[in-house]
Amino acid sequence: MKELPNPMFAISQLGLRGVLQPAVPVRPQMPLPVEANGITVHWARHQDEVRAAQRLRFEVFAGEMGARLNTPIAGHDVDLFDDFCEHLLVRDAATRMVIGTYRVLTPAQARRVGGTYSDTEFDLTRLRSLRERMVELGRSCVHAEHRQGGVIMALWGALAGFMHRNKLDTMIGCASIPMCHHGVAGGDAAASIWRQLSATHLAPIQYQVQPRLPLPVDRLDGALQVEPPALIKGYLRLGAKVLGAPAWDPDFNTADLPMLMRIEDLPARYRKHFLGN
């Protein structure tokens, strides 16, 4: 895409790599691993399990999407926030291979690291009243051979249980749209998806946020009929709202939409499925 702006926001937290050490967290309540439908869902307990998730992320983000990852470990997607996050893993029960992952940054750990990953892409000032019970979801990915829906539903079920047990009620995160999506290149797909969702799923103004490096949607074709990526469609079915216009992530070469989901907004059928009530 031509003439995209250069990043101007100084991400002060990232300058602390090698200096800032994560505090030992008070681990949130974690259940035992759950196995069903040939997959196992559990929270990482050891660094080798986190490394397995980071290898899957590298395979998907760098190998499939072509992201330029500044990582200290070859073949792994590693950043400053990983040491402060809880990592949710889905494994193939037969092979034990990690086939899906999410990372979760709790409010306490966000305070320790100095913010969330989303803070580096958006001004989240208007969310300050939510932060005490707000987690950030990030780095969601599923292995290419396991994208039939079961893995992501297993991840969401574990996340919903995590939120319920730990008395947390709000989830935020950046949902990515590739610069080439459904054969539409150059950001036009992202601009069109933003136009569609801003008319139907925009959060109330008191929660709207501003991108630090905006995708120049006014200079792009936003009139195309393009479906959002499957993950975004899934979030919307769960009652998620879009918090504002997309940011451009030059390293991943994606347009990132800020998303918010609240447990109270879960449709009844998903609340019963995930929480049993």
Q: In the predicted model, is pLDDT for residue 125 greater than 50?
A: yes
pLDDT per residue as tens digits for the range 197-226:
999 999 999 999 999 999 999 999 999 999
Contact 206, 124 (CB under 8 A): no
Whole-model pTM over 0.75: yes
Q: In the predicted model, is pLDDT for residue 25 greater than 60?
A: no
Structure confidence at residue 35 as a pLDDT band (50, 70, 90): low
The full set of domain ranges for the chain reads: 30-272
- Comparing 275 with 140, the larger pLDDT belongs to 140
Burial of residue 193 (number of CB atoms within 10 Å: 0-12, 13-18, 19+): buried
Residue 256 CA to residue 64 CA, distance in Å, equals: 17
Residue 202 CA to residue 225 CA, distance in Å, equals: 18
Three-state DSSP class for residue 228: coil
Q: Which of 17, 22, 272, 261 is nearest to 127 (CA)?
A: 261
Three-state DSSP class for residue 269: helix
Q: In CATH, what is the architecture of 30-272?
A: 3-Layer(aba) Sandwich (3.40)
Mean of the per-residue pLDDT values for the chain? Answer: 88
Strands 247-249 and 254-262: antiparallel
pLDDT per residue as tens digits for the range 150-201:
898 899 999 999 999 999 999 999 999 998 888 888 899 999 999 999 999 9
Give the range among 31-35, 38-42, 83-87, 257-261 with minimum mean pLDDT.
31-35
Give me the pLDDT at residue 7, please: 34
Contact 159, 102 (CB under 8 A): yes
Residue 128 CA to residue 197 CA, distance in Å, equals: 24
Give me the pLDDT at residue 5, please: 35
Give me the pLDDT at residue 12, please: 32
Residue 54 CA to residue 172 CA, distance in Å, equals: 21
Residue 179 CA to residue 119 CA, distance in Å, equals: 22
